[in-house]
Amino acid sequence: MFNIIANFYQNQKLVGYIMRRCYVYILANRCRTSMLTGLTGDLRTFLTTDSVALHRKPRLKEADLLYYETFMNVQQAVRREKQLKNWKIGWKLELIRRLNPDLKALQL
């Protein structure tokens, strides 16, 4: 009986992890010549805390959020992040311009 309860609890934790909201984002420098693609569970906190500076490259010290996608499945988000990381900067700019034609920094 205990094993059944333990397995159920483990599966619930796994489902909670997989079905967690997460965000794939693209940050860019002011000149829009350098971009950083990443994944976070809380976009607002990520952008407002000092810990974001640890993830940014020196050329992205003053980075703006230009694009993000929301996912309810962590595995899908990781897959999308990897896909975008392999894209050329021109492809990323084209994607961003579909929703943000002026390449303005997004406000959450």
Domain ranges of the chain: 20-99
| The predicted structure's pLDDT at residue 100 | 95
Stronger pLDDT, 90 or 30, i.e. the higher one:
90
| The predicted structure's pLDDT at residue 5 | 45
Q: Which residues pair with residue 68 across a beta bridge?
A: 25
CATH of domain 20-99: 3.40.1440.10
Q: How far apart are CA 20 and CA 82, in angstroms?
A: 18
| The predicted structure's pLDDT at residue 8 | 47
Residue 31 has pLDDT above 60, yes or no: yes
| pTM of structure | 0.76
Cα dist. 98→13, 43, 55, 92, 103 in Å?
Answer: 37, 21, 26, 10, 10
| The predicted structure's pLDDT at residue 105 | 92
Mean pLDDT of 60-64: 76
